[in-house]
Structure 1
Amino acid sequence: MNHAVLMALVILSPLVGFMINGFRYKKHSANVAGTIATIAVAISFICSVILVSDLIAMPEEARRIAVSFFEWMAVGNFKINAGFVVDQISAIMILVITGVGTLIHLFSIGYMHHDKGVAKYFAYLNLFIFNMLLLVLGDSLLVMFVGWEGVGLCSYLLIGFWFTDSEKAAAGMKAFVTNRVGDAAFLLGMFILFTTFGTLNFAELNALAPTTMEASWLGAVTLGTMFLFIGATGKSAQIPLYVWLPDAMAGPTPVSALIHAATMVTAGVYMIVRLNPLFLAAPNTMMVIAIIGAATAVLAATIGMTQWDIKKVLAYSTVSQLGYMFLACGVGAFGAAMFHLMTHAFFKALMFLGSGSVIHAMHEEQDIRKMGALKKYMPITHITFLLGWLAIIGMPPFAGFFSKDEILAYAFQSPFGSPILWVAGAVGATLTAFYMTRLMALTFWGKSRVPKEVHPHESPALMTIPLIVLAVLSVIGGWIGIPHAIGEMLGHIPNVWEHWLHPLIKPIPGWTPLDHTTEFTLMGVSVGLAAVSAAIAYHFYVKSPETPKKIAESIKPIYNLVYNKYFVDEAYFGGIINPLVNLSRNTWHYVDVKFIDRCTYWAGDLMKGMGSLSRSLQTGNMQQYAMYIALGVVAVLSFVIMR
C-alpha cells in the first residue's frame, strides 16, 4: 500500500472515530461506542505495523518514510508543510501509542460500561490519539506544537470528564493552566531557534546544530533548548511544574493509563531525543536537565511512600520514572531515555489498568488501607500486577531492569554525568522498590481490611485480556536492549535497540564504555538495594504492620512534611497564585472600575449633555427661532460698535 495512504490512515482513523462518537455523544451504549473507538485505534496500529515493517526492510542509512500532504503556511522565507515522518524514533512512538492505546480502549469498554457519558468519553480518547500521533509524526516543531496543544486540550477534557464534581473539574483546570506555563516557554524556544537557524524542521535543525559546544548561558542554542526543556517540564511533569499530574488522577483510570503513563507525559522526552544534536551542543542545558530529572526522581519517590490512594501512588511513581528519562537525556543517553520510555509504557499502563481493575472490584474504593488479601479474589489482576511490580522495581530479567540500569550506567560514566547523579538514581530506585512493594502488600497481600459490605471479584475478560498482554510485554519488553556485558556472557547477543537508534542518536562526545566489571558491579548494587528495600517493605506491611505506624509517629514532623507533599501546592498558592489573584482583583477594581469605567461614563454623560443642548435648540417654535435671530443681530451689532 502507498506510504501516503498508510500515513493518512494512521493519523486520520482516530479522528474519524472521534467524529462518529462525537455525533453520538448522547448515546449510552458502551459496547457500540467502545467498539467504534477501539477499531479506529486498531486500524492505526495495523497501519503503523506495516509502515514500521517497510522501514525495517530499508537500508539502515535510508530508513525514513516522509510524506508531505500540502503546504500549510508560507510567509516570506518561512514555509511549513503538513509533513510527517516515520523513522527509527517516531516508529517506536507510534507503535506504543496505537498498540497500548488499543488495549486501553478495549479495557475502557468494561470499565466505563455503566457511565452515561460513555460515547463522549470514547470520542475524547480517539481525539487524544489523533493529536498524539500529530505530535510524534510531525516533521517540524510547529506541526509538533499543534499535537502538543491538542493533547493538552484532551487531557483537560478527560481529567475533568466527571466535571459535575467540583474537585475533578478543578483538577482538569489545574492541569490545563500548569501546562500553559510550559507551553509559553515552548513557544519562546521555537522563536529563538527560528531566529537563529531560519527553520523549525527537525532534520534541518539537527543538521545545523553547532559541532562545538556553546559555553555561554545566554547563547542562542542554550536559551532555545532551555525554553524547550521548560515546556517539557510542564508536559512531562518535572520540577517545578509536576504538581498537576497527581491531581490528574481525578479522571477515569484508563485515562491515567493512556495519557499520564504511556503517552502524553513522555512527549517532552520524545522532543528532546528528536533534537538530540541540538541539545548536545548546549552543555548547560544538559546539566540542568540531568539535575532536574534526578531531583524529580527522588522527590516524587519520597512522596509516593506516604500516599494511601492507589492511583496517587502510581501517579508519583510516574513522575519519578519520568525523572529517570530526563536524567538519561541530561547525561546524553538519549537511546536509554527512549528505551525506558517504552518499557515504562508497558509496565505502568499495566499497573494503572490493574488499579482500575481493583477499583472496579472494590466498588470505586481507592484507599489501600481498605484493601488487602485481594489476590484470592482477583488472581489474574494479582498475577499481572505482580509482573508489573517486578518490572518497575528493576528485577532481572523484567523490562524495567534493562532500561533502568542502562540509565544508571550512563549517569555514572558519561562526561555529562557524575557519581552524584548515579547515587541519586540509585536512591530513587531503592525508594521505588519500597513504595511499590508497600502498594502490592497493602492491596493484594496480608490480612483483608475490605469492608464487609464490599464483595471483591475478578474483572471481566474485556479488562483482563489487556492486563495479560501488557504483563507479557513487561516481562520480555526489555530483552531487545540487553547490555553488552550480559549479551557477551550469554553468547554475544546483540543490543538490537542500540543498533536500531544508532543512525539518529548522536554519540556522546568523549564517551568511553564501561568495563564489564564496573558494569556488573553497578547492576549488582542497584538490584541488591532494590531487593533489600522490597524485602523491608514486605516485612513492614505484611509481617509487622504496626512497625510503619511506630516509625511514622517517631518522625512525625518529617512524615507530615512528606505526606503533605512538601507543601509545594500551598507554597504556589501562597506565593504565586493568591498574590496574582489579588493583584488582578485590585487592578480590575482600581483601573477598570475606578478609572476606565468612570472615564467612559464621563465621556458618555458629556456627549449626552451636548446632545440634549443641541436638541433644545431645535424645537420647531417660530417665536423661539425669532428670538435667537434677534439675539444674534444684537450680538453682531454690539461687536461692530465695540470695534
Structure 2
Amino acid sequence: MMDHLLWLIPAFPLVGFILLALWGKHLSRFWTAIIGAGSVSLSAILTLFIGLNFLSSTPADGHYSQTLWTWFEVATFIPKITLYLDALSLVFVFVITFIGALIHIYSVAFMAADKDYARFFACMNLFVVSMLLLVLADNLLLLYLGWEGVGLCSYLLIGFWYENPSNGYAARKAFIITRIGDTAMAIGLFVLFYQFGTLSIPDILALTPTTWHEGATITTVTALLLLAGGVGKSAQLPLQTWLPDAMAGPSPVSALIHAATMVTAGVYLVARMHVIFQLSPIAQMVVAGIGAATLLIAGFSALTQYDIKRVLAYSTISQIGYMFLALGLGAWTAAIFHFMIHAFFKALLFLAAGAVIEALNHEHNMFRMGGLKSKLPVIFWTFLVGSASLAALPIISAGFYSKDQILWYAWASEHGNTTLWLIALFGAFLTAVYTTRMLLLTFWGDAKTAVSHYPSKLMTIPLAILAFFSLFAGFIELPHNFGHLTLFSDLLHQVLPETILKAGIHGELLFQLLAMLVTFGGIYMAYILWYRKPQLTEKLKQSAPLIHLYRFWFSGWGFDQVYQVLLVKPVVFIASINKNDVIDKFYQGIAILMVRLNRALSFTQSGSLRWYIIGLVVGAILILSIQVIL
C-alpha cells in the first residue's frame, strides 16, 4: 500500500514554496531553480510511482486515503486533513505534477533574466500545492481551501509584473470575478452541511441518492450553486471575461493556469460531485447549455484576436466549454479524457507561444510575426503538433480522439440532441479556422520582426515531451469502431458512471467522417483567407456589415462593456456618494486630530539645548509650586 506516501505529493512543492518565500532573496538563481523546479519534479516522480502501484493493484475500496491530523472540532463538525486518491483524482494529480514540472523546467530559462526570480517560483510552487490540495481533498472544506488558494495564486501571478498598472488591473479582475462564483459555491457548501451534517465527499456522495430524490428543488439549487463556483474558476459564461485579460502574466503562468490548475478546477468539481448533478436533470441541462454556448462564443472571439496569447486564451474557454458540454451530457469519462489531452496540447501551445514572443523581443501581435518556420524549427514543429491536436486533426492527433468522443456523445448519448451536436460540430469548424489562422500568421509568410533570441534546451525539451503526448496520448482511449481500446474509461468507471448511448455504434463512422470534413474545411478556409488571398480577408473585414460584427467578437461579445454599465459604474457611483458620510467623517476627524497633536508635540523637539533647559526649569518650578500649594 502506498497511501502512507500521499502526503509527500503536495509536501514537496510546499517545502519549496516555504524555502523560496523566506530565503529566496538570499539564494542564487541556481539554487532557486533547483528548489522551485526540483520540488515539483519530485512530486511528479512520486505520482508516477504511486499511480503505477494504484493501477497494478487497485485497493478493494477503489482508493487510497491518508489522514494527517484533525483540523478542528466544533460540536459534531470535525473536519480532518485527509488526502483521498481514486481514479479521478489520480488523473488530475498526474496532470498537475507532470505538466507542472515541465512548465517549471521551462521557466528556469524563460524567467532567467527576471529580477524577481525567487518570487516567481515561490508563487508557482504555491499554485501547484493549492491545486493538489483541491483534487486530493477528502472533504469539501479542504477542497475549498485549495480552491481559494488557486484564486490567490492566480492573482499573484497574473499581476506578477505589477509595475505595469494594466497587469494589476487584470489580476484584480480575475480575483473579483472568480469570487462571485466562489461565494455561490460557499453557500452550496452550507446547504450540503445543513442537509447531511458533514462535508466529507465520500459520505455526501453515498447519502445523496437515499436522501434526495431526482428533480427535487434542493438538489437543483445545490447543484446550481456548485456549478456557479465551477463557472467562475473555469471561465465559462457568464464569468468568462477574466481569462483573456489574465494573459498579462508570464507565459509559463498562462500555461499553468490553462493546462494544469485554475481553469480545470470547475471541471473537477462537477465531475467529483456528479451524483448531485445526476439527480437534477435541470442542472445537467444548464451545464450542457453553458458549455455549448461558451464554446461557440469563445470560438468566434478567438477568430478575431491578433495577440497570440489571447487567441489561446479564448481557445481555452472554448475547449473547457466542450468539457462542460460533456459533463452536462453525462459523458463523464469523455470530459475528463478531453481535460487530460487538452492539458498536454494547451501547455505546449502556450510555452511555444512564449518562446516565439521572447524570440521576437516580446512581440505579441501575430500580424507582426511571420517567416519563423525556418528560423525557429523546433518551436515550429512543436507548435504545429499542438495546433494539430487543438484543431483535432483526424487520426494523427490526440485531440481528435478526445473531441470525437464528445461530438459522438452530443448526438448519441441519452441526453444528447441535434442542437448540441450541431453547436459542437460548428465549434470544431471554428477551432480549425482560428488555429490554422494563428499558425499561418505566426510561421508562414514574410518575416516582419527579426529574431533576437533563440530558446535554450531547457525550453525546447519540455516542448518536445508535450508534443509527444499531444500526438500519442489519444491512443489510450480509441473510439468504438477503432478497436475500442478503453484503458482510460475503464479506469474512470471505478468512480464515474457509464454513459448510456441511445444510438448504436454503427453510425459512428459516418459522424467521424463528417467531423473530419468539417475540420479539413476549416483548415482550407483559413488557408484561403489568411495565406492565399489575405486581401480578400481585409476587404471582407472592412465591409459595412462585417466590420461591426468583427469588433463585437473582438471585444468578447461586449460582456465587459455590459458589466461596466450594469455593475461597475453603479457600484463606483454609490461608493463615491457614500465616501464622505458621517461615519467616514468621524474617522477622518480622529486622523486629523492625531496629525495635529503630532505636529504640536513635534515643536517641543527643536534640537536647541537652550529650550530643553528652559523646559526642565519651568517643569521643575511647576512641580515645586504644586507641592507647596498642596
The offset of 1:527, in angstroms, is 1.8
Residue in 2 that maps onto 1:370: 368
Checking the alignment, whether the CA contact within 8 Å between 2:220 and 2:280 is kept in structure 1 is yes
Residue in 2 that maps onto 1:627: none
> Structure 2: which amino acid aligns with 1:120?
R
Residue in 2 that maps onto 1:55: 54
> Structure 2: which amino acid aligns with 1:516?
I
Q: Kindly tell me: are residues 591 and 406 of structure 1, through their superposed partners in 2, closer, same or farther at Cα, counting changes over 3 Å? A: farther
Mapped pair 1:214 → 2:214: yes
> Structure 2: which amino acid aligns with 1:111?
F
> Structure 2: which amino acid aligns with 1:285?
A
Residue in 2 that maps onto 1:109: 108
Checking the alignment, whether the CA contact within 8 Å between 1:399 and 1:479 is kept in structure 2 is yes
Checking the alignment, whether the CA contact within 8 Å between 1:27 and 1:117 is kept in structure 2 is no
Mapped pair 1:73 → 2:72: yes
Checking the alignment, whether the CA contact within 8 Å between 2:70 and 2:80 is kept in structure 1 is yes
> Structure 2: which amino acid aligns with 1:214?
E
Mapped pair 1:569 → 2:554: no
Select 1:479's aligned residue among 460, 465, 475. 475
- Equivalences for 1:157-556 in 2 at 5 Å? 157-210=156-209, 214-216=214-216, 219-397=217-395, 398-450=397-449, 454-456=450-452, 458-487=454-483, 493-508=484-499, 511-512=500-501, 514-554=503-543, 555-556=546-547
Secondary structure of the residue aligned to 1:220 is helix
Q: Distance in 1 between matches of 2:456 and 2:250?
A: 18
Q: TM-score, normalised by structure 2?
A: 0.90
Checking the alignment, whether the CA contact within 8 Å between 1:28 and 1:115 is kept in structure 2 is no
Secondary structure of the residue aligned to 1:68 is strand
Checking the alignment, whether the CA contact within 8 Å between 1:172 and 1:248 is kept in structure 2 is yes
> Structure 2: which amino acid aligns with 1:536?
M
Q: Kindly tell me: are residues 28 and 73 of structure 1, through their superposed partners in 2, closer, same or farther at Cα, counting changes over 3 Å? A: closer
Q: Distance in 1 between matches of 2:453 and 2:270?
A: 43
Q: Kindly tell me: are residues 375 and 600 of structure 1, through their superposed partners in 2, closer, same or farther at Cα, counting changes over 3 Å? A: closer
> Structure 1: which amino acid aligns with 2:459?
M
The offset of 1:416, in angstroms, is 2.3
The offset of 1:60, in angstroms, is 6.8
Secondary structure of the residue aligned to 2:25 is coil
Residue in 1 that maps onto 2:3: 3
Q: Distance in 2 between matches of 1:519 and 1:591?
A: 70
Checking the alignment, whether the CA contact within 8 Å between 2:17 and 2:125 is kept in structure 1 is yes
Q: Distance in 1 between matches of 2:9 and 2:417?
A: 42
> Structure 2: which amino acid aligns with 1:126?
N
Identity of aligned residues (%): 41
The offset of 1:396, in angstroms, is 2.4
Matched pairs, number: 588
Instruction: Select the structure of larger CA radius of gyration.
Output: 1
Q: Deviations over 1:57-114 (max 9, x none)?
A: 2247533110001111222222211001111011111111010011000000111010
Residue in 2 that maps onto 1:146: 145
Secondary structure of the residue aligned to 1:576 is helix
Q: Deviations over 1:396-454 (max 9, x none)?
A: 2311111111111111122322110111111111101000100000001122222xxx3
Q: Kindly tell me: are residues 242 and 591 of structure 1, through their superposed partners in 2, closer, same or farther at Cα, counting changes over 3 Å? A: farther
The offset of 1:513, in angstroms, is 5.4
Q: Distance in 2 between matches of 1:307 and 1:262?
A: 24
Q: Kindly tell me: are residues 287 and 36 of structure 1, through their superposed partners in 2, closer, same or farther at Cα, counting changes over 3 Å? A: same
Checking the alignment, whether the CA contact within 8 Å between 1:175 and 1:244 is kept in structure 2 is yes
Checking the alignment, whether the CA contact within 8 Å between 2:409 and 2:501 is kept in structure 1 is no
Ranges in structure 2 where 5+ consecutive residues have no aligned partner: 593-630
Q: Kindly tell me: are residues 31 and 594 of structure 1, through their superposed partners in 2, closer, same or farther at Cα, counting changes over 3 Å? A: closer
* Shift >6 Å, 4+ stretches: 594-601
RMSD: 1.9
The offset of 1:32, in angstroms, is 2.8
Checking the alignment, whether the CA contact within 8 Å between 1:56 and 1:63 is kept in structure 2 is no
The offset of 1:455, in angstroms, is 2.7
Checking the alignment, whether the CA contact within 8 Å between 1:377 and 1:457 is kept in structure 2 is no
Q: Distance in 1 between matches of 2:521 and 2:60?
A: 45
Q: Kindly tell me: are residues 542 and 222 of structure 1, through their superposed partners in 2, closer, same or farther at Cα, counting changes over 3 Å? A: same
> Structure 2: which amino acid aligns with 1:294?
A
> Structure 2: which amino acid aligns with 1:574?
V
Ranges in structure 1 where 5+ consecutive residues have no aligned partner: 488-492, 602-643
